[in-house]
Amino acid sequence: MNSYKFIVNPIAGAGKAKSLIPAIRENFRQAGANFDIYQTNAPRDAIEAAEKAAQDGFNVLVAVGGDGTVNEVLNGIAGRKVILATLPGGKGNDFATAVNMPRDIDAACQDLLRAETKDIDLGRVMDRYFINSVGVGFDAAVARRVNDGVKLFKGVSAYVYAFFEILFNYEVVDIEIDLGMGPMKSSPLLVAVGIGQAYGGGMRIVPDAIQDDGLFDVCIFDDMNRLSLIYHFPKVFSGKLKEIRQAGMYQAQEIRLKLSEERPLHMEGEIFMGDQMHFTLQSKAMKVLTGSQSK
Ligand SMILES: [Mg+2]
């Protein structure tokens, strides 16, 4: 019988994740399931909580929050024989989308109880695991701006707001990119690496990515006129990024980036600064719980 540990980030989604707790209790009590709920109280707390829960014998670790919470739980359990699951409750829920979790809490709880799983690829860079997507350069600068907090205009997502704020200030740097066939020199706006297809709350930056094919999908986005970029920007949401000449799509098992100056890397809500980035992939190394939401 499965034993579920819910790791809830109470501040995710401005309290959205915390508000899911009563529905979780009701669904799991009614099902007679074995479960426990823990609320985190500091950044990185979810890493330790997930690790301890796995040691205590819980075999399904449910990150309740956004992609940042998922990433912390992942980093507490990677390498262990347990299942990673999520209930979407954050600002960005791209992993939840990638594993077809419904937005409706009752439907999502029923999917958790059904516990269908698949083994997907696990990525690692900057001494940390990721399960969905990473960006280096312009997109990471936008993500950092979002993390710093932006005043929201009604109807405009934090990402879109930050995009425009960073747009005219970001300076590209030279990057030596090695996708396994020798280094190539470039000065791209960004390099995105995906196991899943989307980041930043629905931006499909590598729209053909498959989670269990043993390969990263890579988008190397060449610098372009910033006004043209505004014009083309909506295509990242509609999955039509490949229509833009500047968006080069590649696949690789291993990636090395050498930047001429430090730039930010964003990984599922976490920001790192660096000038050397080495991405490695472990094929089908993480068991994840999949939902019933059709795409
Ligand atoms: Mg893949």
- Are 10 and 40 in contact by the 8 Å Cβ rule? The answer is yes
pLDDT tens digits, residue range 21-72? 999 999 999 999 999 999 999 989 999 999 999 999 999 999 999 999 999 9
Beta strands in 57-143 (DSSP E): 60-65, 83-88, 117-125, 128-130, 133-137
pLDDT tens digits, residue range 176-203? 999 999 999 999 999 999 999 999 888 9
pLDDT tens digits, residue range 252-275? 999 999 999 999 999 998 899 999
SS (H, E, C) the chain: CCEEEEEECCCHHHHHHHHCHHHHHHHHHHCCCEEEEEECCCCCHHHHHHHHHHHCCCCEEEEEECHHHHHHHHHHHCCCCCEEEEEECCCCCHHHHHCCCCCCHHHHHHHHHHCCEEEEEEEEECCEEECCEEEEEHHHHHHHHHHHCCCCCCCCCHHHHHHHHHHCCCCCCCEEEECCCCEEEECEEEEEEECCCEECCCEECCCCCCCCCCCEEEEEEECCCHHHHHHHCCHHHHCCHHHCCCEEEEEECEEEEEEEEEEEEEECCEEEEEEEEEEEEEEEEEEEECCCCCC
Catalogue all structural domains in the chain, each as residue range(s) with its CATH number.
3-115 (3.40.50.10330), 129-283 (2.60.200.40)
Distance 91 CA to ligand 1 centre (A): 24
Q: Look at phi and psi of residue 168 and say left if phi exceeds 0, alpha if psi is from -120 to 50, else beta.
A: alpha
The rounded radius of gyration (Å) of the Cα atoms in the chain is 19
Three-state DSSP state, 9: coil
Distance 286 CA to ligand 1 centre (A): 13
Distance 234 CA to ligand 1 centre (A): 24
- Are 147 and 220 in contact by the 8 Å Cβ rule? The answer is no
Distance 283 CA to ligand 1 centre (A): 9
Q: Is the pLDDT of residue 156 over 80?
A: no
- The reply to whether the predicted model has a pTM over 0.85 is yes
Distance 285 CA to ligand 1 centre (A): 12
In this structure, which residues have their CB less than 5 angstroms from ion ligand 1? 210, 213, 215
Confidence tier at 246 by pLDDT (50, 70, 90) = very high
Confidence tier at 138 by pLDDT (50, 70, 90) = very high
Distance 133 CA to ligand 1 centre (A): 10
Distance 206 CA to ligand 1 centre (A): 10
Report angle CA 276, 132, 273 to the nearest 5 degrees.
25
